[in-house]
Structure 1
C-alpha cells in the first residue's frame, strides 16, 4: 500500500475550516454544522449503489445467510453498532447481522494498533465465523485502502459470498475487491483526516439504510411501525402496546392482555386481534405469509 495519503479526498484540507484553530465556539460549531449538511446530499448521490447492496443482503437473508460488516477503527465500530441494534429493533437472531472489527471485540473500546494493516486478519476473522456463499460481507473503510478489509473482501469473493465496499474516496482500493462499490464523497473533513466526522456520519447513514431497508423488505414493519420489536424491558413493552393499539384500535388493557397471550410477540398479537384468531392460528397465518402482517391478516 504505497498510495500517497495526501491524494485522498479524506486526507485533503478543507478550505472552509482553515482558520478553525482561532475561531470561537460558535464559529467552530457553525463550520461543522454547515459541513455536516453536505453529508446527506452526498449519500443521495449513491442511492443506486446502496440499493444494490440491499438486494444482496435481502437475498442472503432469504437463503438463510448473514450480513457481516467489517472494518477497522471508527469504520469497524460503526458496523458493530448497527449490528447490535438489529436484535432489539427487529427481533433478529444475533448471528443474522454481525460486525467484525480489526483487533477483535476489545478494539471497540480501545484501539489495537497495527491490526488494520494485516490482510490475513480479515481472512482469519471470516474463517472463524464460518463464512459461506450465502452471506453478504460489507467492508467499511473511509480511506478505502484498509488491508484488513481488502483481505476480508478477497476471501469472501473467493467463496462466492456477495461483497460490498463502502468508502469515501473515488477509485478506492477496496472497491476493486467487491461486487458492489459505494463511494460516498463527502469532501475534506473539518479537521483534516478525522474521518469519524463527515465520513463516519455518511457511513452510519448508509449502514442504517441497508439494515433497516432489508428488515422492512423481510416484513418486519407494518406501515412505519416496528412490529417485530423485541420486548425485553418495560419501555419496549409500552412501545409494543402502543404499536398494537395504533394498528388495531383496541384499548390499552386489551392490547396488554393480548400481547401477554401472544408471548410478547407483537406480530402475533396484531393478527390475533385483527382476525379474531387464537395464538396458534395467528402464528400459522404469519408463517404462511412469510412474516408479513398485512398478508397474514388478508389471508
Structure 2
C-alpha cells in the first residue's frame, strides 16, 4: 500500500544567468547554496540548489542555467507561482523593507487563503511569493543557515504552496486526488479568479497545491523566469519503487526510476502538461561535501566524475565561496 505523499520536495526553475541568480538567491533572499552541480540530463549547464542550512527536503528551490533562454511568456498550463515560507507576519514587514532597499519588484502585503503573503519577482521575472507561517499547522519548516545575511528570525524556512494555472481544472484535480492522494481542502478568491486548494500528508503550507483554472489564457511559453517542474516527497527508494509500479498499472506514461544520487526520482506529466516529479527524502547533499562547505565546489555524482575535466571545460566559472 502506498504511503501518502509528504508534501513539496523541491521546485526547479530556469535562469539564463547563474551568477546573478546566485547573488539574488543567496545575498538578497539569504538562502544557502547547498549544491553546485550540473543538469544530469545536460551536463553542459549548471544545476544550482538553494535551501535551508543543509538542503532538507521541502526547502529546495533549484535552477537550471540555460544561457540562451528567452523571456517567459506567462500563461496557462504552468507552475505560475512558487511560494516560500517565513516564520510569521512580522517577517513580511522585514522583507517588504528589504525588497524596497534592494530594488526588488514586489506587491503589497495581502491575505490569500487566510495567510499573510508578499508577492515579488526576481531579476528575470520569476514569480515568487512569501507566505507567513504564523498560523500554520502541518509540515514543519526547515532550519535557516546561521551564516545567512538575513536574520534567522525572519529567514525563509522552506517551500510554501505551489500554484498551478491550468486550462482544465478537472484534469489536474483528478491526478492530484485520484492518483497522488491529495485532498481537496478549500477554495478562495484571488481578484476575480477562484483557486482550489489541495493538500497532502500533514497538510499546511509545505504540503499544498493551489490550482487556478484559466481557459482564457494562452499556453505559457517557458524561458528564463519560468518553472520547469515541481517535485513531491516520498520517504524512501522502496516507496518510490511502489509508485513506479503504480503508475505502470494505471498506464500513465512516466520515466520509471531515475538515479539522481542526492535523491531518487520518478517523472510524469499530468494532462495539462505540467511536469511532476516524485523524489525521495534522502540520501541528501552531504555524501560528497561536508556540511561546512556545501555548494562551494562543483559537485558531480560518481557516475560523472570520470568526465569532470570535459564538463568543467564547458561551464563558465562560478565562484560560490564568497
Normalising by structure 2, we get a TM-score of 0.26
Mark the structure with the bigger radius of gyration: 1
- Higher RCO, 1 vs 2 (CA within 8 Å, ≥6 residues apart): 2
Greater percentage in helix: 1
More strand by share: 2
